[in-house]
Structure 1
């Protein structure tokens, strides 16, 4: 999709997707401390929302009990919106999610977002351990979504449901659909819901999914026009060379995923050449193709181009960086860039 006009960086909201990364030699407790510290810092930097993702059986991600970590972050911050990017709805009974997010919204009014995905967020054996059976493979996601939304707003359900979400019912909790393909893009459009696309690991599908979302969009009580957020990996440092070095942690993470060698987040290396094959290098370059890596000037140029191409209303920054201080600095650089024209 070609850009209709140049969107200014300062006109685009910026947010954070955090995976509570567990680095080698550290613990989930350390990861949660770093997550809260990051949230407190980006709140001061002017970021709009801070989301956490549900993944399971992954030694480098601590946010498996996503609702619990959202409460931890919301309790340690005061203004930034906090939510899920996302809750993998087929892993859960919709009533449970309604109650959990009803509780969060009751504790932290007008600050909670509910982003929903239909993938398991894990491998099939772990999905079975979560669900106990395979009755939900994501194909019934529209029905699950309708049930969940009706717990918040009973008027959405035909007839009276004797089961009520307490807390939850009557609360205005923004529901987002997340996707890495066209399914949720089209569903979000048809329902008039905001949509977030995972360009940070599915770059080739980005423009097609956003176009499908916008073409499918029907105004609703939630939105009168499409609202699209796009996730993108950003690694920023003082120089291009330092940013490229820091980004080798992200590259190693995806390389280990490809090899089914799931380990904690690895420290950066000077070169990946001795770690990957040419085939793996090409595959990862494609999967991480939308990543923005570099100095402040490089990041600003690439970010402006990315926004022009996607016409995103909001950018969700993903920063898988090993060193916590370097991670904070990366988000600080992005914050400085987003305030400029």
Structure 2
């Protein structure tokens, strides 16, 4: 593993059980500020809808808020679920953000709705689903590029900003599309670890240079629970286990305090499913995590790592960043 591999963070603005959204977002700001002080490269926010316990649904609004409370770290979407939005609206939103915070905004795009079919219909994009994703990406690239003579539809602001577009994915499809379009690619190993080697290898193999990018650039997202000891990390990790268990059961995703044991909270099948979901999670102190990352990256080439850190206590979550920073 390269000693200079950049580290970044993915944030869902997860609401602790009993907390308010206002408190959650205040904690997210402090988390981003701490990441910036430690030299983390990016702070991305994920779009999810109709999920109790996740408060990042108005993704572009939160990007602006975090960017306004920080000074250098890149802030972006991880990602905007493009089937939910007209490309023109996204171009205007991110063109505005790029105008306010030059050279600091990233636009990561996903092709899933990030929600259930009923909520997808409530977002008023019926009939314009994932199958239109390549065309929507192309339209967005056009809207963020230089104005053309007699261009009928313009993103104002947005045109000429060339906000960097990333494609996000958890399968081979987006890896292939990112390679064909010459775009940077992020693999969602934090919730879909199975195909990370195949997708990242395919992306590099078939990458075609573009105006945005002359060589492949890939990022792998991983769950991380960093603490002063492996035993403490294993204890803190039960917060993430409870969240994924709630996801499997269709329950609200409030962030719950860690527990001494998951026995009695899940059955054997659920335990196996949760651990498979989090198969790429790294746990422990800096030395533990350094070894685990080396094993994960031994068979795949990436340019950057992005971590999700589900730790219940905000101070312990910020301290986890201190420990992660030591592993570089």
> TM-score normalised to the size of structure 2?
0.97
Over 6 Å off, 4+ runs = none
Residue in 2 aligned with 1:88? 81
Residue in 2 aligned with 1:144? 136
Contact 1:118/1:141 (<8 A) preserved: yes
The answer to which of 64-73 and 271-280 deviates more is 271-280
Residue in 1 aligned with 2:303? 313
Please give the alpha-carbon distance, in whole angstroms, between the structure 1 residues aligned to 2:302 and 2:253.
33
Contact 1:241/1:294 (<8 A) preserved: yes
Please give the alpha-carbon distance, in whole angstroms, between the structure 1 residues aligned to 2:304 and 2:236.
25
Q: Do residues 28 (structure 1) and 18 (structure 2) align?
A: no
Contact 2:245/2:274 (<8 A) preserved: yes
Deviations 1:183-227 (A, max 9, x none): 111000000000000001111111111112112211111112111
| Partner secondary structure for residue 299 of structure 2 | helix
| Partner secondary structure for residue 87 of structure 1 | strand
Contact 1:154/1:160 (<8 A) preserved: no
| Partner secondary structure for residue 150 of structure 1 | helix
Residue in 2 aligned with 1:126? 119
Contact 1:175/1:194 (<8 A) preserved: yes
Residue in 1 aligned with 2:260? 270
Name the count of aligned residue pairs.
328
| Partner secondary structure for residue 212 of structure 1 | helix
- Of 61, 65, 78, 1:72 maps to 65
Residue in 2 aligned with 1:196? 186
Please give the alpha-carbon distance, in whole angstroms, between the structure 1 residues aligned to 2:34 and 2:80.
24
Give, in angstroms, the shift of residue 160 of structure 1.
4.7
Please give the alpha-carbon distance, in whole angstroms, between the structure 2 residues aligned to 1:105 and 1:161.
21
| Partner secondary structure for residue 310 of structure 1 | coil
Residue in 2 aligned with 1:222? 212
Give, in angstroms, the shift of residue 134 of structure 1.
2.3
| Partner secondary structure for residue 78 of structure 1 | coil
Give, in angstroms, the shift of residue 28 of structure 1.
0.8
Contact 1:154/1:161 (<8 A) preserved: no
Please give the alpha-carbon distance, in whole angstroms, between the structure 2 residues aligned to 1:310 and 1:13.
16
| Partner secondary structure for residue 170 of structure 1 | coil
Residue in 2 aligned with 1:3? none
- Of 312, 319, 324, 1:329 maps to 319
Please give the alpha-carbon distance, in whole angstroms, between the structure 1 residues aligned to 2:253 and 2:94.
31
Q: Do residues 113 (structure 1) and 106 (structure 2) align?
A: yes
Give, in angstroms, the shift of residue 75 of structure 1.
0.2
| Partner secondary structure for residue 139 of structure 1 | helix
Contact 2:200/2:301 (<8 A) preserved: no
- Of 255, 264, 281, 2:245 maps to 255
Ranked by relative contact order (alpha carbons within 8 Å, sequence separation 6 or more), the top structure is 1
Deviations 1:59-99 (A, max 9, x none): 11111000000000000000000000000011001000000
Gaps of 5+ in 1: 1-6
Please give the alpha-carbon distance, in whole angstroms, between the structure 2 residues aligned to 1:69 and 1:310.
33
Deviations 1:94-147 (A, max 9, x none): 00000000000000000000000011111111111112x521220100011111
Task: Go from structure 1 to structure 2 and tell me whether the alpha carbon gap of 1:12 and 1:263 turns closer, same or farther (over 3 Å shift).
Answer: closer
Please give the alpha-carbon distance, in whole angstroms, between the structure 2 residues aligned to 1:319 and 1:232.
9
How big is the alpha-carbon RMSD for the aligned residues of Structure 1 and Structure 2?
Answer: 1.3
| Partner secondary structure for residue 106 of structure 1 | helix
Give, in angstroms, the shift of residue 172 of structure 1.
2.3
| Partner secondary structure for residue 123 of structure 2 | helix
Please give the alpha-carbon distance, in whole angstroms, between the structure 1 residues aligned to 2:36 and 2:253.
30
Q: Do residues 213 (structure 1) and 203 (structure 2) align?
A: yes
Gaps of 5+ in 2: none
Residue in 2 aligned with 1:4? none
Q: Do residues 15 (structure 1) and 8 (structure 2) align?
A: yes
Contact 2:54/2:253 (<8 A) preserved: no
Give, in angstroms, the shift of residue 154 of structure 1.
4.8
